[in-house]
Amino acid sequence: MSALLVVVLALPAAGAMVAALLPGERAGRVAGTVAAALAFVASLLLWFDRSAGGTGVIRPWHEVDVAWAPALDLRFHLGVDGISYPLVVLTTLLTLLCCAYTVGHVPAGGRGSALVALLLVVEVGMLGTFLALDLVLFFVFFEVVLLPMYAVIAGWGGAGRRAAARKFALYTLFGSVLLLVGVFTVVASAGTADIVALTGGAALPRGTQHAAFALFAVAFAVKSPLWPLHTWLPAAHTQAPTVGSVILAGVLLKMGTYGLIRVAVGVAPEGARWAAPVLGTLAVAAIIVGALVCLAQSEIKRLIAYSSVGHMGFVLLGVATLTATGIQAALIGNVAHGILTGLLFFLAGAVKDRFGTGDLAALGGLRERMPGLSGLLGYAAIGSLGLPGLAGFWGEAFAVIAAVRRGGPLWLTLGVIAAVGGALTAAYFLRLLRRVTHGPASPVVAGAVCGPIARLEVAAWSPLVVLALAVGLVPALVLGMASEPVRAVAEWVAR
């Protein structure tokens, strides 16, 4: 079964190569989608035959560990456990949906097969990041994502794509530099880059832990993104093509939060305890700022982009509590945000494609023209604002509960403010619905020639719709497998 880990990485890589090299443009798109589908199946197969191996804090179900460059102490060490598995499946699913969507609908800008190839390369990087159990390998995969994503935004994006792509690259490179220095710090001090060994007990000195956590935290905060390092996000999300936004919001941001849990907290728990109040405060600031900015947005994709800042604030608040409940909340919040915001971006893309504008003032009365689409938009928005019964609820509620349970005046205050932020989230999503779906049909909506929801769109959206409900009703889908590893990490941190 361990070989399956390599297969999961190799399939999209091979698919990217085939998609890029096939002479037929449409054939390339189809071939890439087939590879993405196979990767999705392979990632589902990882579920079977799992048994926690090893004795450390991280006990992967499946593991591949071969020497890569012995002279540099580089190991090709992959593994999957309950923390990374949901994200792996989320990645393969969303990439498959995006590739399938591209088969029928190529955004303007370039060859569709090249776009599919780039999406698959991004998938390799994201999967590798979630699977890597070696710090250097983690960094390598973390970096792999940057340039193809840059190309997706710059090649197929909207009018301001160049500036948005440049901003994205600048911020992310800055984060990478800090991450690299952090990796050097840890590896030089501990003498190993093995995340399992580092999490399990290779105690770094106190000062090194503080330095390493600070470096990691800022690096991942750029990616997540944490206020005030979030300003690349609205531009990139708004300008990226629909599939780019879906991947960005659905998975790419999770690399930051996952890195924070697995690498920053795992490797430098002492540093995490030291920095937790700051992290928590910034996370709550992100929730409030994100919500307030959303209330003032006039463009649908920009609004959804800023809502990510708020949602990731909840996730980071969960991580910052450093309790089992908080980290559980962060994990499910991650997955829920991936599903719901992915869906929201798909829907926003559909709206923009049909009416040629995402301006909230110009839209209105969508319910009358396209009841199905506006119904789905309402479903996704209500899920995203945290209605119990849909996926968004668990992450936000339990982040607040974890903060309150953590106790003390600071965490109590943070919990209360975050709860207020949750209410604000509801306010801006309801405002979005009122502006777009309700009221009389605006001239743009009334006058546009728009087809019904295509079968392809149904195919791309329905898995997300189903998952949003499934995770909402049965959170154990995500939390069941994660509880054991999360408890181990939380105990290790609390020591």
Partner 1 sequence: MNDLKLPAIDYAALAPMLILFGVACLGVLVEAAVPRARRGLVQVPLGLLGLVAALVFVIAEAGTRKRTAGEAIAIDGPALFLQGAIIVLGVVALLLIAERSLEPGGPFVAQPARPVGSEADRSQAAGEGGATEAYPLVMFALAGMLLFVAANDLLTMFVALEVFSLPLYLLCALARRRRLLSQEAALKYFLLGAYASAFFLFGIALIYGYAGAITFSRIHQAVTAGTGSGVLLFAGLALLAIGLLFKAAAAPFHVWTPDVYQGAPTPITSLMAACTKTAAFGALLRVLYVGFPGATWDFRPIIGVIAILTMLVGAVLAVTQTDMKRLLAYSSIANAGYLLVGVLAMTPEGVSSTLFYLVAYGFTVIAAFAVVTLVRDADGEATHLSRWAGLGRRSPLFAGVFTFLLLAFAGIPLTSGFTSKFAVFGAAFGGGQVWLVVAGVVTSMLLAFPYLRVVVMMWLSEPGESTPSVSVPGAFTSAALVIGVLVTLLLGVLPGPLLDLTTRAGDFVR
- The residue count for binding partner 1 (CB under 8 A) is 29
Single-letter amino acid code for the residue at 143: E
Selected from 144, 240, 272, 332, the binder of partner 1 by CB under 8 A is 144
Nearest to 189 by CA among 214, 165, 207: 207
Selected from 154, 240, 276, 414, the binder of partner 1 by CB under 8 A is 154
Selected from 65, 174, 448, 483, the binder of partner 1 by CB under 8 A is 174
Q: Which stretch binds partner 1 (CB under 8 A): 149-157, 238-246, 382-390, 400-408?
A: 149-157
User: How near is the Cβ of 482 to partner 1 at its closest, in Å?
Assistant: 29
Q: Which stretch binds partner 1 (CB under 8 A): 173-181, 326-334, 351-359, 397-405?
A: 173-181
Selected from 147, 288, 362, 420, the binder of partner 1 by CB under 8 A is 147
Residue closer to partner 1 (CB basis): 60 or 155: 155
Q: Which positions from 48 through 77 interact with partner 1, judged by CB under 8 A?
A: 67-72, 74
In which element (H, E) is residue 77 found?
strand 74-80
User: How near is the Cβ of 74 to partner 1 at its closest, in Å?
Assistant: 8
449 binds partner 1 (CB under 8 A): no
168 binds partner 1 (CB under 8 A): no
Selected from 10, 44, 52, 140, the binder of partner 1 by CB under 8 A is 140
Q: Where are the alpha helices (DSSP H) in 105-205?
A: 112-131, 135-144, 146-156, 161-190, 195-200
Residues whose CB falls within 8 Å of the CB of residue 252, separated by 6 or more in sequence, listed in order:
122, 126, 145, 149, 223
Residues whose CB falls within 8 Å of the CB of residue 446, separated by 6 or more in sequence, listed in order:
365, 369
Selected from 42, 64, 90, 169, the binder of partner 1 by CB under 8 A is 169
User: How near is the Cβ of 137 to partner 1 at its closest, in Å?
Assistant: 9
User: How near is the Cβ of 313 to partner 1 at its closest, in Å?
Assistant: 27
Q: Return the DSSP state at 71.
A: G
Selected from 52, 180, 218, 427, the binder of partner 1 by CB under 8 A is 180
User: How near is the Cβ of 46 to partner 1 at its closest, in Å?
Assistant: 24
Q: Which stretch binds partner 1 (CB under 8 A): 86-94, 147-155, 246-254, 468-476?
A: 147-155
Q: Which positions from 100 through 139 interact with partner 1, judged by CB under 8 A?
A: 136, 139
Structure-derived torsion over alpha carbons of residues 319, 427, 367, 249, reported in degrees to the nearest 10? -20
Residue closer to partner 1 (CB basis): 121 or 344: 121
151 binds partner 1 (CB under 8 A): yes
Rounded Cα gap, residues 221 and 415, in angstroms:
20
In which element (H, E) is residue 30 found?
helix 25-45
Residue closer to partner 1 (CB basis): 108 or 188: 188
204 binds partner 1 (CB under 8 A): no
- Cβ of 27: how many Cβ atoms within 10 Å? 13
Locate 342 and state its tokens. Answer: 């992915």
Rounded Cα gap, residues 293 and 309, in angstroms:
10
User: Quick check: 243 and 102 in contact, CB under 8 A?
Assistant: yes
471 binds partner 1 (CB under 8 A): no
Q: How far is CA 198 from CA 189, 195, 203, 273, in A?
A: 11, 5, 7, 17
User: How near is the Cβ of 488 to partner 1 at its closest, in Å?
Assistant: 30
Rounded Cα gap, residues 47 and 18, in angstroms:
28
User: Quick check: 139 and 180 in contact, CB under 8 A?
Assistant: yes
Selected from 143, 353, 359, 368, the binder of partner 1 by CB under 8 A is 143
Q: Return the DSSP state at 299.
A: B
Selected from 10, 22, 181, 362, the binder of partner 1 by CB under 8 A is 181
Locate 24 and state its tokens. Answer: 């037929």
Rounded Cα gap, residues 476 and 441, in angstroms:
42
187 binds partner 1 (CB under 8 A): yes
Residue closer to partner 1 (CB basis): 68 or 492: 68
In which element (H, E) is residue 62 found?
strand 62-69
User: How near is the Cβ of 290 to partner 1 at its closest, in Å?
Assistant: 28
239 binds partner 1 (CB under 8 A): no
Rounded Cα gap, residues 57 and 489, in angstroms:
6
Residue closer to partner 1 (CB basis): 169 or 265: 169
16 binds partner 1 (CB under 8 A): no
Q: How far is CA 349 from CA 127, 241, 243, in A?
A: 25, 8, 9
Residue closer to partner 1 (CB basis): 163 or 203: 163
481 binds partner 1 (CB under 8 A): no
Residue closer to partner 1 (CB basis): 241 or 386: 241
Residue closer to partner 1 (CB basis): 194 or 457: 194
Sign (positive/negative) of CA torsion 184, 185, 189, 192?
A: negative
Rg (CA), the chain: 21
188 binds partner 1 (CB under 8 A): yes
21 binds partner 1 (CB under 8 A): no
Nearest to 232 by CA among 180, 175, 300: 175
Q: Which stretch binds partner 1 (CB under 8 A): 174-182, 281-289, 313-321, 412-420?
A: 174-182
Q: Return the DSSP state at 191.
A: S
In which element (H, E) is residue 69 found?
strand 62-69
Rounded Cα gap, residues 151 and 293, in angstroms:
28
Binding site for partner 1 (CB under 8 A): 67-72, 74, 136, 139-141, 143-144, 147, 150-151, 154-155, 162, 169, 173-174, 176-177, 180-181, 184, 187-188
